[in-house]
Every structure is written in structure tokens, then in C-alpha cells.
Amino acid sequence: MSPGNPGSFKNFNMKLFIFFFFLVLNSYSQSTKSDVERLIEKMGLDQHIKVTRDVNTMWVTPSQEVDYLIYFDGTIDDFKGSVSEYYLSNYSEKEISEILDFYSTPLGKKITENTKLFLESGLLAEEKWDEFCLDTVYKYIYR
Amino acid sequence: MKLIITIISLLLLFPTSMFAQTFDNDVKKIVNQIVDMSLMYGIRDLILLEKDKEVKESFLKDFDQSLEVFYKVYIDFYSSKYTHDEIKQMLAFYETPAGKKFANDLLLLSSNSFPKGKEWSKKLDEIKKKLKK
């Protein structure tokens, strides 16, 4: 860039502008990414994974349990990454912010704390409904 | 005197039971938003096909009873952890556009129908099959 050439100065300014534009854009996307990670933490994804781990282990023989858990634990990071990608692609910054605001309230924090119990209630509710299926549905199938 | 006590007891009992019913109904609204019950309704619709009126009525009565058993587990959970006011705050959040969208994804997550959840389940099943070999 030569000081006496206004065209190259303009060109340099344009490149500088584009550079800062992408720098700012990158910092916004980084903050959205960290917001999504906070959201995933607050919605209790870790607890969901733990309950899934416990339920899945019930369907594996004792001799295979150790190997299964090694494989299972190996999939967790990928799964969490893909959930994070899902929220990044399908939710706006504003939506993420609104949901995070809710989870930051005393009620929202309580919901996060109780996620595991909520999921366990869900398993119990399904179990009770499955009992109905066995007792009653078959009776009606053949009527 | 006995009559007065009876009337007062009834007057006190009636609103209490009404409040309990409102709490239960609000919990059911939350459950309907974030818990996937499509399999249950699918089974119901399947059973109702080609059944005569009497059988349908009898089945629907049993089915509604089973739903009450299902909901009761959640009602017990919510009543032990949350006040009615908190339940109403949850409902208000799930009524917002962002809340509705989020609740729908929670529902999918709970039923393993979440897009990324399905892929994960498939991977876990493949691991189980691999271990069996």
C-alpha cells in the first residue's frame, strides 16, 4: 500500500472493515454457543443422559455391562455436541436468551435441580401405564 | 348445632377440593405439553377400530382410568416439589412462543424422538448388538 495511492488505501480500509466485521460476528456466535451450552446444562441434559444410561444398562447382561458402559460413555460428548448444534441451528439468540432468563429465575433453578426426579417420575408413570396395557389392552384386542 | 357444624365443614371442604382439582388440571396441562403421550393415544385409536359401541365405551372408560393413573404419578411429583403458583408460572412460560418451541423439544427429548436423540439411540442399539456377537 503506497501512501500516494488513494485506491489502495480504500482497498486496505475495506479489508480492515471486513476483518473486524467477521471478528465481531465470530464473537457473537461464540457468545451464542456458550449460551446454548448453558441452556443444555440448565435443561438437565446431563441428568437425562444419566437416566438413559441407567435404563439402558438394565437391558444388558451383567457380563457385558462394563464394556457397554465404556462404549456408552464414549458416545456422550458426541451426543451433547449434536444437541448443542440442534439448538444453535433451530433457535434464535433471542429465543435462547428468553429460555435462559426463565431458567435463571428461582423457579427455573428449582426445575433444573428436580430434573432427575422428574425423569424418574416419567419412568414410573410409563411403568404403571404399561401394566394397564398388559392387563386391559389385550382383553379388548380379542373382543 | 350438629347441622351447623356439618354445613360449615361442607363449606370448608368444597373450595379445598376445588383448589386440588385446579392444581391437578394445571399439572395435566404441563404434562400434556412436555411428555409424549402419542403412543398411548395411538394404542387407544388402534383398539377402537372396528369395535362396536358397547366395547368402545367400556374401553374408553378403562383407558381414561389408566390416564388418571399415569397423570397421578406426575401430580404426586409436582405437588411434592412445586406450589400451584409455580405451576402457573411454568404454564405461562410454556405459552410464550419460545417456551412453546422449547416445550415441544423437551417432549421429543423425553420420548427419544428428539432428532439427535434418535441417532444416539440407534448408536446405542448397535453397541448392544455388537456386544451380543
Interface contact B76-A125, CB threshold 8 A? no
C-alpha distances out from residue B67 to A126, B25, B31, B40, B50, Å: 10, 13, 11, 9, 22
* Surface of A (28-57) touching B: CB under 8 A: 43, 48, 56
Interface contact B96-A98, CB threshold 8 A? yes
C-alpha B12/C-alpha B22 separation (Å) is 16
Interface contact A83-B114, CB threshold 8 A? yes
Partner B contacted by A95 (CB < 8 A): yes
Interface contact B70-A124, CB threshold 8 A? no
Q: What is the DSSP letter of B122?
A: H
Residue-wise pLDDT for A10-35, tens only, equals: 787 887 777 766 666 666 566 788 99
* pLDDT > 70 in chain A, percent: 86
Terminal Cα distance for chain B, rounded: 79
Alpha-carbon gap: A128 to the closest alpha carbon of chain B (Å): 7
* Higher local confidence (pLDDT), B11 or A140: A140
- SS3 for B83? coil
Closest of A121, A103, A123 to residue A37, by C-alpha: A103
C-alpha B53/C-alpha B35 separation (Å) is 30
Find cell 435462559 and name the residue.
A100
* CB neighbours of residue A46 within 10 Å: 14
Residue-wise pLDDT for B111-131, tens only, equals: 766 766 777 777 777 877 777
Measured between beta carbons, the chain A residues lying within 8 angstroms of B59 are 136, 140
Nearest to B74 among A111, A125, A132 (CB): A125
Check whether A4 has a pLDDT greater than 60. no
Report long-range pairs for A26-29 (Cβ below 8 Å, ≥24 apart). Answer: A28/A93
Which of A108-112, A117-121, B35-39, B106-110 has the highest mean predicted lDDT (pLDDT)? A108-112
When mean pLDDT is compared across A77-81, B3-7, B21-25, the lowest value belongs to: B3-7
Burial of B12 (0-12, 13-18, 19+ CB in 10 A): exposed
Task: Provide the number of CB pairs (under 8 Å) joining chain A to chain B.
Answer: 104
Closest of B76, B129, B107 to residue A60, by C-alpha: B129
Closest of A122, A48, A83, A44 to residue B39, by C-alpha: A122
- SS3 for A4? coil
Closest of B93, B97, B103, B96 to residue B34, by C-alpha: B103
Output the pTM of the full model. Answer: 0.77
C-alpha A47/C-alpha A123 separation (Å) is 13
C-alpha cell belonging to residue A101? 432468563
Alpha-carbon gap: B116 to the closest alpha carbon of chain A (Å): 6
Interface contact A102-B110, CB threshold 8 A? no
ipTM: 0.77
Interface contact B99-A99, CB threshold 8 A? yes
